[in-house]
Structure 1
Amino acid sequence: IGINPTNNVVDVTNYVLHSLGQPMHAFDAAAITGNEVVVKTLPAGTKFVTLDEKERKLFAEDLMICNQNEGMCIAGVFGGMKSGVTEKTTTVFLESAYFSPDSIRKTAQNHQLKTDASFRYERGTDPNMPFFALQYATQLIQEIAGGEVVGEIFDIYPKPIDDFKIEVTYHRINQLIGKELSNKEIEDILLGLEIKLENKTSEGFTAIVPPYRVDVQREADIVEEVLRVYGYNNVELQPTLSSSFLSEFPKKDNDSLQLEVSRILSGTGFNEIVTNSLTKHQYAAASESIDSANDVHILNYLSEELDVMRQTLMFSGLEVIDRNVKRRQNSLKLYEFGTTYHKKGEKYKEFSRLAIYLTGENASESWLDQSRPVRFHDLSQMVYQLLNKFGMNRLEIADVQSDLWSYGIEISHNKKTVVTLGKVNPKLAALCEVKQEVFYADFDWQMLRENYPLIVDFQPLSKFPEVKRDLSLVIDKSVNFEDIRKLSDRNASKLLTRMRVFDVYEGDKIGENEKAYAVSFFLQDQEKTLTDKVIDKTMQRLMTVFEKDLGATIRK
């Protein structure tokens, strides 16, 4: 059985253990002071030397087999050094018992001990086996070691463990198996497994399960026993599979959705990171946009740099960037799905976020193309690709109002901010020792998930051609493209399909506080071909609005 022999007495106990599944222990009777064996617990911290010659400190709940003065064995787990059987032993005391699986499991875990005895006790042994095992071991010792029985057997079993009683119906057995079995066939299988049947009727019976079958305590367990013996291969698959019960699956599978977004980001060269939710309070204190009063503090923190839960993913991402830059990995494209933690009054709240980071060069330099530093628009392109994936096309854009970014934009959907993106404030980046430019986008992942369209609407391609018209606008530097887009949508929404800025100019050919935008307008009618008259009327209306509301000069 693969166990090194110790001596003929100990080998007998190991043999009984493996043949019957009943752990036993043999004590040197000379070590039992006071001729008394007591099963009890000892005070926590009591020192005890086990058979491996290691001194262990006992826990208050450890069950011990003791003599009149001290412990001799950790019950059901490991024997003691002083009471073990040696070549000098002349008288042996055999112990065979049933112990609670919970108690043995906890003791074995406390001492990090996994023995053959604890392995079996943890999983449940037959409470009616100790007496038989003791008799069997006694007989073997008499035959092999020439032993002689000099004392009586003590069987202390004040509260016998009853058989398990389980109500079972034939209909339920057939329903779970998926095949009609005869009542006699079911009964024969159970009787062969030493499961008695009482109170039999045409509908069912009471199964009497012996206590050693600790794995059979429910009606479903009885069905499993029947099916195991009958044979899984003997249950034919029906031409049309069906089930009497189907679990309710969520309409939106968040894990699948996260995996899908991960594939998009990873497919465009991003690497996923997973960072610690614990951070240091100095980050929140350094930012005006983060309220330190909302920090969730750790009561027993291990380090002053891990004393609060993070309110933003930005700083944990910057720490990753710093670590990589210091190892000469300067160009990074990273993303992380994470959680932020906030204290709101007496309550605590968690928010799911998606963070994207860009820093360094946009691509590795090669003979085909030169590299360049990443720009804001490299990040915004990725952001809009994800927003398009979630069907968010009616968006509102505003300048960022947080000191986490030097500049950037907030994109809202239905008047709720869905993502903020821009260049990380260098002063805050310096807290993580990051000196190069970092562009960072912070998505409200919970909002993205909630707005993910369950049904995708399709519309046919227009049969009529699209028309493009270009305008050059000289405007004040305080006017941005979002102002132009909003005015255009209000005044030409029926025909205007999209807009694109293809040139921006600032220089000595226009005023000091002015800039020039070259914008393409794409017009299309879904029902007819646009005429020059309609196109010119639409563009004239737009030019008039730009001149009136934005103070723009149209360069013709």
Structure 2
Amino acid sequence: MKISYNWLKQFINTDKTPEEISVILTGIGLEVESLEKVQAVPGGLEGLVIGYVKERHQHPNADRLSVTKVDVGAGEDLQIVCGAPNVAAGQKVVVATVGTTVYPTTGEPFKINKSKIRGEESSGMICANDEIGLGTDHDGIMVLDADAVVGSLAKDYFKLNDDYLYEIGLTPNRADAASHLGTARDIAAFLKLPVIKPDVSAFKIVNKSLPVEVVVEDATDAPRYAGVTISGIEVKESPKWLTEKLAVIGIRSINNIVDVTNYVLHGLGQPLHAFDAAAIKGNKVVVKTGLAGKVFKTLDGVDRTLFADDLMICNAEEPMCIAGVFGGAASGVSEGTKAIFLESAYFNPVSVRKTSKRHGLKTDASFRFERGTDPDMPVFALKFAALLVQEVAGGEVSSEIVDLYPAPVAPFEVELAYKNVDRLIGKAIGNDMIKSIVKALDIQIVHETTESLSLKVPPYRVDVTRDVDVIEEILRIYGYNNIEIPTQIRASLNTSVRPDKDTVQNAISDLLTANGFNEMLANSLTKAAYAENIDEAVKILNPLSNDLDIMRQTLLYSGLEAIAYNQNRKAADLKLYEFGKVYSTREDKYVENQRFSVLMTGVDNAAGWNVKAKPVSFYNLKAVVDTLLSRLNVKDYTVEDTANANLAYGLQYVKNGKVLVDFGAVAKVALKKADVDKEVFYADFNFDVLLNLVRKNKIVYQEVSKFPAVSRDLSMLIDQNVTFQQLKQIALRTERKLLKSVDVFDVYVGDKLPAGKKSYALSFVIQDEEKTLTDKAIDGIMQKLIYNFGKEAGAEIRK
């Protein structure tokens, strides 16, 4: 959501800077994702001053050039060569001094340098409108009024007001804050200031020459519907102040009537719709459902087939608008419109949300209606909009305000106990503080005792219906940062013998974080393009967007999106891990599994003066996987080639018929889906299986042996289909007690070997915990290994 600082200050009188307001908003739960300065014109007229042309002479070497002497204040006169035909002595002009960058209406910005033009020195530029972005006129220089102050800044003369734009990450529950008024309410509550609402006292009904009858057939989906007609208007371009207000928040000007509805929408949070009064057949507006199968053309020119539950705004003969979502092409305001019917309503959020979803229409109006608007706002917004329409388009109010509101929405009644506030906040902030914050939040205290408050919460706060919601609001305004961290922590001892999920997860996190990994947390909602099997995907019936329409089936794409985001911001070397759940449907049942992922990309170590950068490889990831399993004391698993379709190559560890982990290099097709152009290595752990194995393990301390370990090597020729895992298992079966480890340290495949053969060099660590091994004992073990390698794997020992 975009909020303008200057616009915000129309609702609250504060001298807080944009940066201070940004900190306040984030602190009270309206997180400011970005703060950007917005200039009224490019460059903000920086470096431009008002000058006075003291002298003007013909250039000695050019017929169309003039040499001028210009006073720019502080006793400084500049000689400037000017090519404008209308320059003359005695004029007040705009001067771009040396070093200034000017931003023309068309073309690229350029810097003013001291130069010689046809032999005459020039120290600046006398500006035309289009040369500084103030218009398109280039017939001559700008000649200012005689009262312009020499030496003053041009931006002050033209009264340019720079603005600041907040990008706020609005959470779905905060529909009340989806406007400048709503945002101002929160700031006012924090600063204990009043909210300034527009003055609508000037609204008056001039005549009743254009009455429109309104009939609401479905009061459930349209609890409140209001409207008024304005005749004698002129549809044209909006005035500068209005277009600038909308432009700051990224809204393109359409015409003065549509711009007023957008201004009220973003200002007060109340969506409006303007109908061409001439299109309202029978001078009758009917709000109803039940038009299933009828084709309706919306403002974007698309024919849409209506559903039975679509709430429609109709005239006496046909539909004109999809209520709360989108207007119709036949009833919209055009240049020929002379009178309008202005609609302001409160629609059922569920009805609007379903209609918006069915037609795939997401508009600023539906965004607010489907989350819940203020049912007390329609008439006030209508009066404010009518005054604005008369200001920018002329005309007069030509009917009574129709306001059909048969069952007013009641405030939420909440009982709030002081002790619960203190308990949930974790600090006693005092009853007076609680009451002051409650009042600042526009919550009415109906009755109070020494122990509790009886409250009425305004209906525009659709997310505050229980005492815990009110407590959250109190804490939000009081300030999370004002809750001190306690010096003592009380906790009960965990007497569980088996490690629980959190214990295992913390052990994994500690190990990875200590080795340079960062933990990430991603949304469980994702897009269908990432589905491994779309038929088994858990689909969202009412998704927020097309990119969040299914529950994720893998943690891979969450990680790849994080990698893409960081790589696009020049952070290419990443080590990430995530704990999360994946979802699927099988045999009409929902299945939820706990997973754990590790991702690595970029370089393993940065380049230095004495070391070269080393790219991450498959073996870096394998080392992490093996270290994690060793830390959790998970052993005796088998190694197989991965069957994960998202991996180009890799391995999987299997125990008791269940896959512990799949890991390897991510396939290019998966990388392309997430717009990642670097190689990524990924490990996917089945955390549920891993947790069960850890719970069965008993890690027993064993004293470090006092007797030395002995290392021996063997080089052998084997068939290419024989794996290291097979050789390792043969070795461990051959010597169960004294053989401590088996590793491969060299592999060779080439034309110097027989066809179908490869060479492996293995190292063995042998140790007796009770005595020093003799050469005879060691040789005996090695002979048994050589024999069994030959017998079971067809190995030939190489000398």
TM-score over 0.5 (shorter chain): yes
Residues 197-251 of structure 1: CA distance to partner in whole angstroms, max 9, x if unpaired?
Answer: xxxxxxxxxxxx99989xxxxxxxxxxxxxxxxxxxxxxxxxxxx99x9998796
Q: SS at the partner of 1:489? A: helix
- 1:262 matches 2:509: yes
Q: SS at the partner of 1:493? A: coil
Counterpart of 1:426 in structure 2: which amino acid? K
Relative to structure 1, the CA distance from residue 247 to residue 382 in structure 2 (aligned partners, 3 Å threshold; closer, same or farther) is closer
Question: What is aligned with 2:746?
Answer: 503
Alignment partners' CA distance in 2, 1:391 and 1:377:
20
Cα shift at 1:507: 2.7
Q: Determine which of 764, 769, 774 is the counterpart of 1:526.
A: 769
Cα shift at 1:279: 2.1
Question: What is aligned with 2:706?
Answer: 463
Question: Which deviates the most, 376-385 or 318-327?
Answer: 318-327
Question: What is aligned with 2:62?
Answer: none
Q: Determine which of 708, 717, 725 is the counterpart of 1:482.
A: 725
Cα shift at 1:509: 2.8
Residues 277-310 of structure 1: CA distance to partner in whole angstroms, max 9, x if unpaired?
Answer: 22222333xxxxx433211111122333322111
Relative to structure 1, the CA distance from residue 545 to residue 252 in structure 2 (aligned partners, 3 Å threshold; closer, same or farther) is closer
Cα shift at 1:455: 5.7
Relative to structure 1, the CA distance from residue 305 to residue 508 in structure 2 (aligned partners, 3 Å threshold; closer, same or farther) is same
Question: What is aligned with 1:357?
Answer: 599
Q: SS at the partner of 1:533? A: helix
Q: SS at the partner of 1:354? A: strand
Q: Determine which of 313, 320, 325 is the counterpart of 2:555.
A: 313
Alignment partners' CA distance in 2, 1:54 and 1:468:
77
Relative to structure 1, the CA distance from residue 541 to residue 257 in structure 2 (aligned partners, 3 Å threshold; closer, same or farther) is closer
Q: Determine which of 202, 223, 248 is the counterpart of 1:44.
A: 223
Question: What is aligned with 1:348?
Answer: 590
Higher relative contact order (CA 8 A, sep 6+): 2
Question: What is aligned with 2:792?
Answer: 549
Question: What is aligned with 1:119?
Answer: 443
Counterpart of 1:283 in structure 2: which amino acid? Y
Residues 79-127 of structure 1: CA distance to partner in whole angstroms, max 9, x if unpaired?
Answer: x98xxxxxxxxxxxxxxxxxx984479xxxxxxx975696343xx615x
Alignment partners' CA distance in 1, 2:752 and 2:537:
52
Question: Which deviates the most, 310-319 or 527-536?
Answer: 527-536
CA RMSD across the alignment: 4.2
Q: Determine which of 448, 451, 457 is the counterpart of 2:693.
A: 451
Relative to structure 1, the CA distance from residue 212 to residue 435 in structure 2 (aligned partners, 3 Å threshold; closer, same or farther) is closer
- 1:275 matches 2:522: yes
Counterpart of 2:753 in structure 1: which amino acid? I
Relative to structure 1, the CA distance from residue 44 to residue 503 in structure 2 (aligned partners, 3 Å threshold; closer, same or farther) is same
Residues 174-206 of structure 1: CA distance to partner in whole angstroms, max 9, x if unpaired?
Answer: xxxxxxxxxxxxxxxxxxx8xxxxxxxxxxxxx
Contact residue 104 and residue 118 of structure 1 kept, 8 A: no
Q: Share of identical aligned residues, percent?
A: 37
Q: Determine which of 757, 763, 771 is the counterpart of 1:514.
A: 757
Alignment partners' CA distance in 1, 2:763 and 2:596:
33
Alignment partners' CA distance in 1, 2:652 and 2:601:
20
Contact residue 392 and residue 413 of structure 1 kept, 8 A: no
Alignment partners' CA distance in 2, 1:319 and 1:495:
48
Question: What is aligned with 2:780?
Answer: 537
Alignment partners' CA distance in 1, 2:670 and 2:768:
49
**1:99-178 matched pairs, under 5 angstroms:** 102-103=412-413, 115=439, 119-121=443-445, 125=447
- 1:338 matches 2:580: yes
Relative to structure 1, the CA distance from residue 114 to residue 424 in structure 2 (aligned partners, 3 Å threshold; closer, same or farther) is same
Alignment partners' CA distance in 1, 2:628 and 2:797:
35
**1:20-419 matched pairs, under 5 angstroms:** 44-47=223-226, 102-103=412-413, 115=439, 119-121=443-445, 125=447, 252-284=499-531, 290-419=532-661
Q: SS at the partner of 1:515? A: strand
Cα shift at 1:363: 1.1
Contact residue 413 and residue 454 of structure 2 kept, 8 A: no
Task: Name structure 2 gaps, 5 residues minimum.
Answer: 1-12, 14-218, 228-266, 271-343, 349-375, 381-409, 416-436, 456-489
Contact residue 396 and residue 415 of structure 1 kept, 8 A: no
Relative to structure 1, the CA distance from residue 473 to residue 301 in structure 2 (aligned partners, 3 Å threshold; closer, same or farther) is same
Cα shift at 1:348: 0.6
Query: When the two structures are aligned, how many residues end up with a matched partner?
Result: 364
Alignment partners' CA distance in 2, 1:211 and 1:467:
78
Cα shift at 1:342: 0.8
Counterpart of 1:268 in structure 2: which amino acid? N
Alignment partners' CA distance in 2, 1:355 and 1:211:
48
Alignment partners' CA distance in 1, 2:641 and 2:269:
68
Counterpart of 1:520 in structure 2: which amino acid? S
Contact residue 502 and residue 519 of structure 1 kept, 8 A: yes
Relative to structure 1, the CA distance from residue 407 to residue 248 in structure 2 (aligned partners, 3 Å threshold; closer, same or farther) is same
Give TM-score scaled by structure 1 length. Answer: 0.57
Alignment partners' CA distance in 1, 2:751 and 2:519:
45
Question: Which deviates the most, 306-315 or 508-517?
Answer: 508-517
Task: Name structure 1 gaps, 5 residues minimum.
Answer: 5-40, 61-76, 82-99, 106-112, 130-192, 194-208, 214-241, 285-289
Counterpart of 2:706 in structure 1: which amino acid? K
Question: What is aligned with 2:203?
Answer: none
Contact residue 648 and residue 667 of structure 2 kept, 8 A: yes
Question: Which deviates the most, 500-509 or 368-377?
Answer: 500-509
Question: What is aligned with 2:679?
Answer: 437
Cα shift at 1:432: 2.1
Alignment partners' CA distance in 2, 1:457 and 1:247:
20
Q: SS at the partner of 2:788? A: helix
Contact residue 333 and residue 359 of structure 1 kept, 8 A: yes
Q: SS at the partner of 1:394? A: coil
Alignment partners' CA distance in 1, 2:741 and 2:493:
46
Alignment partners' CA distance in 2, 1:54 and 1:329:
39
Alignment partners' CA distance in 1, 2:769 and 2:543:
63
Question: Which deviates the most, 334-343 or 267-276?
Answer: 267-276
Alignment partners' CA distance in 2, 1:260 and 1:253:
11
Q: SS at the partner of 2:615? A: coil
Relative to structure 1, the CA distance from residue 321 to residue 511 in structure 2 (aligned partners, 3 Å threshold; closer, same or farther) is farther
Relative to structure 1, the CA distance from residue 298 to residue 461 in structure 2 (aligned partners, 3 Å threshold; closer, same or farther) is same
Q: SS at the partner of 1:297? A: coil
Counterpart of 1:276 in structure 2: which amino acid? N
Residues 29-50 of structure 1: CA distance to partner in whole angstroms, max 9, x if unpaired?
Answer: xxxxxxxxxxxx99821559xx
Alignment partners' CA distance in 1, 2:709 and 2:452:
82
Cα shift at 1:420: 1.0
Contact residue 356 and residue 441 of structure 1 kept, 8 A: yes
Residues 493-533 of structure 1: CA distance to partner in whole angstroms, max 9, x if unpaired?
Answer: 12211112222222333234322111111112223332322
Counterpart of 1:504 in structure 2: which amino acid? V
Cα shift at 1:349: 1.4
Counterpart of 1:119 in structure 2: which amino acid? I
Counterpart of 1:513 in structure 2: which amino acid? G
